[in-house]
Copies of this chain bind each other. A is one copy, B any other.
Amino acid sequence: MSKEELDARSMKALMTIASAWYDQMKAGDIPSISLPTRTKYNIEYDDASEVWKYGDKESLRTAATAKSATHLLKMAYVIGFVKQQLIENRSSTLREMYYISEGWKRAKFGAQDESNFLVEDLEIISDVPREGFHLRPEENGASIYGPMRIREPTRRGLKMIHCQDDVGSAGYSIPNNVENLELVDHDAKFVIAMETGGMYDRLIENGFDEEHNAILLHLKGQPARSTRRLLNRISQTWNLPILVFTDGDPWSYRIYASVAYGAIKSAHMSELLATPKAQFLGLQPSDIRDYNLPSDKLSDKDVEALNAELTDPRFATDYWKKQINLQLELGLKSEQQAFAARGLDFVTKKYLPARLSEMGVI
């Protein structure tokens, strides 16, 4: 969708919301708005798009309590602000909007979280991603390294960049808006998205990208929107296998889940942000056992998180049930760099080749 189209769609959606409130109040009714319930119990698998989306459960937010009324007031101010940005063709970060809200008196945000949540609400109601509101994420994109070429429009014109030849050893920095990024061509067999920089550097130092024609991507923890969107686009455009390689603990599985299925809090954007074909490479609980990796005991919070995952529809597969139950049984977790305990080459020479061929990727 072109920028102009997206802008028009955004404006229309926002005005619809405001008009509905105006009409409610005009009729002497307390203004209200419907939102899908945003919990893991209200996400459903969409067969068509192969992603998890919010289901039918909605909650009605009526300005009949001070909290809800204030929420609606803030929403009105955000709508007013975005309308202004669209008219003036400006953009800003959420943090900047948070500071701009200083002037909104009662509608001022109490904390950054609140403005984030509110923008998500607006995305859901309007079915327009925040990029359409000209709101930039604060988060930086991650890094990518491998045999692929992209074309990026910048303030200084279109740039064609090859992600091995045209970049430093730290790779190409993914910008925070990848909608306009063009995926030109590639010479890769698969993509490995890694949780930690140490593993990303290890694979680059050991020449894994050249040896296996692999695109390496550093997720930098819980991946930013632009990172997830880029993976989604690589998968859709080039149809390459996407493999997620994280630490072996419940929080890392959530990183995988957010790549593959979308985060619960952005389930409304799943079609754009999720990569349903992404596969979990490791570190698997069975690896801890099979390779006897250095490990830590699961904390109470870990166990709680694992149990929560057992009831999470996104993990409702035999593979995950088996792995999670095994982990609970072992009572252990490991980091991906724990492979170093078996030598610095172990991960590139032994573990990854074995695991990738087991997965049918090489």
- Which A residues have a C-beta under 8 Å from some C-beta of B? 90-93, 95-100, 102-103, 136, 138-141, 143, 150, 152, 154-156, 159, 161, 164-176, 196-198, 201-202, 204-205, 207, 210, 218, 220, 294, 335, 337-341, 344
List the 9 closest A-B pairs by CB distance, nearest first.
A170-B173, A96-B340, A99-B340, A102-B341, A102-B294, A93-B198, A99-B341, A170-B175, A169-B175
> In the complex, A165→B196 CA distance in Å?
29
CB contacts (< 8 Å) of A201 on chain B: these are: 93, 136, 176
> In the complex, A221→B176 CA distance in Å?
18
> In the complex, A97→B294 CA distance in Å?
12
| Nearest B-chain residue to A143, judged by Cβ | B173
Given A337-B96, A340-B96: A159 touches B170 (CB 8 Å cut-off):
no
> In the complex, A103→B95 CA distance in Å?
46
CB contacts (< 8 Å) of A93 on chain B: these are: 198, 201-202, 337
Question: Can you list 6 A-B contacts (CB < 8 A)?
Answer: A93-B198, A95-B196, A138-B198, A139-B197, A154-B169, A168-B174
Tallying the copies of this chain within the complex gives 2
**Smallest Cβ distance from A87 to chain B, in angstroms?**
14
| Nearest B-chain residue to A173, judged by Cβ | B170
Given A155-B204, A204-B155: A198 touches B168 (CB 8 Å cut-off):
no
> In the complex, A344→B218 CA distance in Å?
31
| Nearest B-chain residue to A154, judged by Cβ | B169
A198 & B159 in contact (Cβ 8 Å cutoff): no
> In the complex, A344→B134 CA distance in Å?
13
- 6 more contacts with CB within 8 A, not counting A140-B197, A140-B218, A152-B169, are A97-B340, A136-B201, A140-B143, A143-B173, A161-B166, A168-B174
**Smallest Cβ distance from A133 to chain B, in angstroms?**
14
**Smallest Cβ distance from A171 to chain B, in angstroms?**
6
Given A155-B204, A294-B99: A92 touches B169 (CB 8 Å cut-off):
no
